[in-house]
Structure 1
């Protein structure tokens, strides 16, 4: 004999009527490529200042050519240090490239003196980018202090000496800031793409879950009604015609619900679903005891509890041979309690089908979104009870429901 329900791992559920999250729109957000272009243009501008300083001196051609080669090498190293991949490189590799940049920064100072000082700003920026925080800022400040030495040896004024050290520190901050800006822009674009993909996936899951809730119940009801009609036609044709009318009504409602699901506008009401469940169960020769004491319910709670009822009744029809089923919906002290209990459950049965139901896992997640709970208990003699409780008017939700823990297995029914 089948078990009452097979509970499986289920993906996060959305609530009927809940809006699907979409990535926020940020106007005038620069593209990642533009951010990299801005960074490269700034590096070229600083490099050009040093070239103009060197060209304005009376350096011999071999020295000038050597300086240009060194500048190109520093520029290439700086581009690499400003890339996101270098921070994932091994420590040994980063130490090697930083050491090469330090040599290309300080050795030419012996020849070009203060005219080469602007290149120390690139080194200061690279130190901020590649070193750990506790080492980066002291090293950055040390590079700025070393730039007090060349102008002092050249006999420049105090103002010019301080200017060179200050411009070195400023260049380092600009290189560091623009590099980080480019990385943040890239991360933001990547995040928006991921959010768009998640929104699409979430909408697909909503559609699949709602179809499960709708068609599982409706098709079970249509099957049972059709079997009843088949038995009634030879002996009670008039009642068979009445049952055909009910089948047509269920089919039309299912079609309307499926269309509503596709637009995300579906909503259900608990009390009419209780009456419908009673009719379906009685058609399956199940004795039904019904108790309804409800006041005004929030639309979201009403829809979720109606979905819980549908899933519970579907499980009674599919997974048990119930003779009696008790349906209770009671509202007291601001909370509503839905209970579905039945007999005829085989406690030893375990459905091994790969298509066994995921319904209660979905419904547990839906109830969490309304601050509700879902419990299932199996009693003696093959009895089974499902109880759902929720506030009649839940507080306004500020965020999507927490879907953590949905992968946990439920106790077998």
Structure 2
């Protein structure tokens, strides 16, 4: 039995326990529930105050029963109005529920007098929750002013009317505020979960891009050098031995790159990559011409441009039969420009492996991260890749109009129109 099999069996025998969420995770999960509980408790407290006021009167059992039924219906309606997204309900539904709540607010006043006045606060809060502000606030004030009438009709002092007006407006604001707060807590909770999912997706994409950019070039180089060793091993054993050492070095570097992926894309140097790819292309019988005019680049820009060069050469090795390749790396007026072209475009000679075409999309994303751009041109058997970026991402990346015109009018190197290599 192999060691991995033993580990898997040991892990299978280990008892499984559900993983408990951390304290922060529990707090985030309970927050929407707590907000909902606070809102419901506040509604029940207001309803309880009204029920106690009615219970303190000398009314018969039948009116008290009617009071309880009305309170239950108002509670259900208010929960419906206070739920998140209630304002997006159809207009007919909102009109029907608000009409029902208005009838349950004003009709019982004929039986319970001012003791029922607290229910007007529920109606004013529902108006604020369901209607547009320019309509809701005037109606909210109208409901509050309407509560001046019951105490006056009963012959009570003016202070009782003012108290009922103030309590109605305050209750409406409390219900409106708690309902909005509960909806906001739920929205923040949902947004946090969505951000977590996006972070996981972003991390997966980062690992995918890094593996592609780091290993695509190395594995393509290992494949070509292995084919070269296969041809040289009998006729030129010493050169084959040197190529084997290169393959070992590439494989070790690939292993180190995989280990670094978890920490992000390692820093790369455009100048170092230029030296590396030039030697590789010469080993594969590709005629290489280079033009390099580089000064110091910002580390992030240097890494991105090196990744662009790697991907361009990887595409050349995997998707073409190039006989010549031209590489330009020019730095001028605060910008760096990389141009890679070859003459080996061949529609028949393509890499048919799955997901073989994600490299250029990855490079466009990397260049956008440093305010750069990527242009790809393919015509008459030639392939041209142009990448531009500011030397430093800390400066104004837009550049001046003169700089943009200068880059646009400069012509890239034209490759000779030779046939594909045999």
What TM-score range do you get, normalising by the shorter chain?
A: 0.7 to 0.9
1:16 matched residue in structure 2:
none
1:81-120 equivalences under 5 Å are 81-84=81-84, 86-120=86-120
SS in structure 1 of the partner of residue 68 of structure 2: helix
- Runs of 4 or more consecutive aligned structure 1 residues displaced over 4 Å after TM superposition: 25-30, 347-354
| 1:375 CA drift (Å) | 1.4
| 1:352 CA drift (Å) | 7.7
2:285 matched residue in structure 1:
285
| 1:65 CA drift (Å) | 2.1
CA distance in 2, matches of 1:300, 1:125: 54
Q: What is the aligned residue count?
A: 373
CA distance in 2, matches of 1:257, 1:95: 64
1:131 matched residue in structure 2:
131
CA contact (8 A) 2:121 2:169 kept: yes
Asked whether 1:66 is paired with 2:82, we answer no
CA contact (8 A) 1:320 1:346 kept: yes
2:18 matched residue in structure 1:
none
1:167 matched residue in structure 2:
167
Name whichever of 144-153 and 323-332 sits farther off: 323-332
CA contact (8 A) 2:321 2:349 kept: no
| 1:86 CA drift (Å) | 3.7
Relative contact order: is structure 1 or structure 2 higher (C-alpha 8 Å, sep ≥ 6)? 1
CA distance in 2, matches of 1:52, 1:265: 68
Name whichever of 110-119 and 259-268 sits farther off: 259-268
1:134-213 equivalences under 5 Å are 134-213=134-213
> Scaled by the length of structure 2, what TM-score is found?
0.83
1:249-328 equivalences under 5 Å are 249-328=249-328
| 1:186 CA drift (Å) | 0.3
Name whichever of 285-294 and 187-196 sits farther off: 285-294
Structure 1 unmatched runs, 5+: 1-24, 399-413
Q: Give CA deviations for 1:305-350 in whole Å, capped at 9, x if unaligned.
A: 1110011001111121111112222222222111111112237988
- Residues 397 and 185 of structure 1: is their aligned pair in 2 closer, same or farther, counting only changes over 3 Å? farther
CA contact (8 A) 2:335 2:388 kept: yes
CA distance in 2, matches of 1:265, 1:208: 11
Q: Give CA deviations for 1:109-134 in whole Å, capped at 9, x if unaligned.
A: 01111111001100111111112223
SS in structure 2 of the partner of residue 393 of structure 1: coil
CA distance in 2, matches of 1:349, 1:241: 29
- Residues 397 and 89 of structure 1: is their aligned pair in 2 closer, same or farther, counting only changes over 3 Å? farther
Asked whether 1:244 is paired with 2:244, we answer yes
SS in structure 2 of the partner of residue 137 of structure 1: helix
CA distance in 2, matches of 1:84, 1:106: 27
CA distance in 1, matches of 2:268, 2:65: 81
CA contact (8 A) 1:145 1:165 kept: yes
Q: Report the RMSD for the aligned CA atoms in angstroms.
A: 2.3
1:318-397 equivalences under 5 Å are 318-346=318-346, 355-380=355-380, 382-395=381-394
CA contact (8 A) 1:224 1:283 kept: no
| 1:149 CA drift (Å) | 0.6
CA distance in 2, matches of 1:350, 1:91: 59
| 1:248 CA drift (Å) | 0.5
SS in structure 1 of the partner of residue 262 of structure 2: helix
Structure 2 unmatched runs, 5+: 1-23, 398-422
CA contact (8 A) 2:318 2:351 kept: no
2:21 matched residue in structure 1:
none
| 1:93 CA drift (Å) | 2.4
SS in structure 2 of the partner of residue 263 of structure 1: coil
Name whichever of 295-304 and 128-137 sits farther off: 128-137
CA distance in 2, matches of 1:84, 1:293: 61
CA distance in 1, matches of 2:335, 2:27: 48
CA contact (8 A) 1:322 1:342 kept: yes
